[in-house]
Amino acid sequence: MIRQISRMIELEVGKGSDQSRRASRHVTQINTANKVLLGASQGIGNAILTTPLIKALTSLNLKVDVMCGPTGLLNGAEFVFEGMPNVKVLPEEAWKDRSYLLGVQTMWPFSGMENYVAQIRFAPNINKVWVDGIPAHEVDINMAVARSLKYAGATPPLYCNYKQVPDFGQYRDKKNIGIHVCRKYGHQFLANRQMRNQMEIGEELVKQGHRVFIIGHEDAVLPKERVLHTDFVYCLGQPLPEVAGLIKELDFMVNEDSGIMHITAAMQTPQLAVFGPTSDVKNAPWSDVARVIRVDLDCAPCQYTERATNCCSNICMDIDVSCIVKHVNDLI
């Protein structure tokens, strides 16, 4: 009798029964981890608008690993998070072999996170939030995740890593105003948000006794254009931490809706942000020292509407030079 029972148990184990799957219903999961995996795709501005959420998470005694890979952070945005306490940006080869009990997806999620975490909390979809009648900024939408984890404090300020500019004191004899120039866009809708007449704006500000810094990518202003505008300080093609450090030293910035605009907000530098097709409800500088201006058109903003894919013009950015200069002088 004893042999028979022993043989029956052996056969039950050996035939690959589903008893373990049935028993798994009784498994208890206790979350003792203090580390979360965070997904944040898109670009520099979106990364900066994620940092209040990250600060809120770390204040809850959590450590944050930020996903970075082929479908993750773009345009060199990884630099934004350098120096943040309890935060690491991990390339795919580092986090793909790990497992996390909790994943956090921002408004711009990282595809494939579900392969590495047991649970995920998503920031709300912006269209669903707006349809529900909540005019929410991207920072507020991201912070909804922290609130769901019982974070009860105020929304933390933005963060962006920067490199301090040495010997900037030589420029303290005048008000120093930066103007962002960008001519590289991935598609027409983003091209439509390009600010117009930046060089003319700069010339007017120089006439009024200010010093103007032109900030942008390497070929934002071609050499033949620079010959026509020799009064400016050109800061083109610099590494982004150095750009952030320069903006921190300036008295004022003039921006379109861009990553540089959000860097300016993180540096707490006063700015005038010119908006056209994009939504200032969602994208406005998260800053108490910023002013947004836009043209009053029925078709603007067109972001998240069908018009955004059909428009091949940026007439909504056609703001008179004198208007922009007046706003700058009022604010400075």
Sheet hosting strand 87-91, strand order edge to edge? 87-91, 63-68, 35-39, 100-105, 117-122
Count of CB atoms within 10 A of residue 332's CB?
A: 14
Among the listed ranges 87-91, 94-98, 265-269, which one has the minimum average pLDDT value? Answer: 94-98
Q: Tell me whether residue 230 is exposed, middle or buried, using C-beta atoms within 10 angstroms of its C-beta: 0 to 12, 13 to 18, 19 or more.
A: exposed
What is the pLDDT confidence band of residue 14, given thresholds at 50, 70 and 90? Answer: very low
Asked if the model's pLDDT at residue 156 lies above 50, the reply is: yes
> Tokens 């345009």 correspond to what residue?
75
pLDDT 10s digits, 162-188: 999 998 989 999 999 999 998 877 677
49 and 77 housed in the same domain: yes
What's the distance, Cα to Cα, between the start and end of the chain in Å?
96
Classify residue 153: in a domain, yes or no: no
Q: How confident is the model at residue 75, as a pLDDT?
A: 55
Among the listed ranges 16-30, 35-49, 133-147, which one has the minimum average pLDDT value? Answer: 16-30
118 and 193 housed in the same domain: no
What is the pLDDT confidence band of residue 7, given thresholds at 50, 70 and 90? Answer: very low
Asked if the model's pLDDT at residue 74 lies above 80, the reply is: no
Of 1-10, 137-146, 222-231, 264-273, the range with the highest mean pLDDT is 264-273
Domain of 260: which CATH number?
3.40.50.2000
Length of the chain (residues): 332
Mean pLDDT across the chain? 86
What is the pLDDT confidence band of residue 250, given thresholds at 50, 70 and 90? Answer: very high
Asked if the model's pLDDT at residue 70 lies above 70, the reply is: no
Last residue of a domain, one of 116, 148, 180: 148
Classify residue 6: in a domain, yes or no: no
Asked if the model's pLDDT at residue 23 lies above 90, the reply is: no
Asked if the model's pLDDT at residue 3 lies above 60, the reply is: no
Classify residue 274: in a domain, yes or no: yes
pLDDT 10s digits, 187-197: 777 788 889 89
- The contacts of residue 76 (CB under 8 Å, 6+ apart) are 44, 240
176 and 308 housed in the same domain: yes
- State pTM to two decimals: 0.87
How far CA 204 is from CA of 57, 154, 241, 264, in Å, comes to 45, 40, 29, 22
56 and 96 housed in the same domain: yes
99 and 192 housed in the same domain: no
Q: How confident is the model at residue 22, as a pLDDT?
A: 64
Asked whether 257 and 153 are in contact (CB, 8 A), the reply is no
111 and 179 housed in the same domain: no
198 and 296 housed in the same domain: yes
Tally the domains of the chain. Answer: 2
Sheet hosting strand 211-216, strand order edge to edge? 233-236, 211-216, 176-181, 252-256, 271-275, 290-294
Asked if the model's pLDDT at residue 37 lies above 50, the reply is: yes
316 and 223 housed in the same domain: yes
Whole-angstrom distance, CA of residue 278 vs CA of residue 123: 20
Whole-angstrom distance, CA of residue 238 vs CA of residue 218: 8
144 and 173 housed in the same domain: no
Classify residue 1: in a domain, yes or no: no
How far CA 119 is from CA of 28, 36, 42, 50, 93, in Å, comes to 14, 10, 22, 20, 21
Cis preceding-peptide flag for 301 (omega within 30 of 0):
yes
Whole-angstrom distance, CA of residue 129 vs CA of residue 135: 8
Classify residue 46: in a domain, yes or no: yes
DSSP string, 115-134: GTEEEEEEPPPHHHHHHTT-
Element containing residue 63 per DSSP (H, E): strand 63-68
Percent of the chain at pLDDT exceeding 70: 88
- The contacts of residue 105 (CB under 8 Å, 6+ apart) are 38, 39, 113, 120, 121, 122, 123, 145
196 and 112 housed in the same domain: no
Where in the sequence is the domain holding 302, given as residue range(s)?
168-331
Last residue of a domain, one of 148, 176, 191: 148
Classify residue 288: in a domain, yes or no: yes
Classify residue 144: in a domain, yes or no: yes
Asked if the model's pLDDT at residue 219 lies above 60, the reply is: yes
Last residue of a domain, one of 114, 148, 182: 148
Q: Name the phi and psi angles at 274, rounded to 5.
A: -95, 120
Asked if the model's pLDDT at residue 226 lies above 80, the reply is: yes
Classify residue 208: in a domain, yes or no: yes
Strand-pairing partners, residue 287, are none
Token output for 61: 């005694």
304 and 195 housed in the same domain: yes
194 and 79 housed in the same domain: no
Whole-angstrom distance, CA of residue 309 vs CA of residue 306: 6
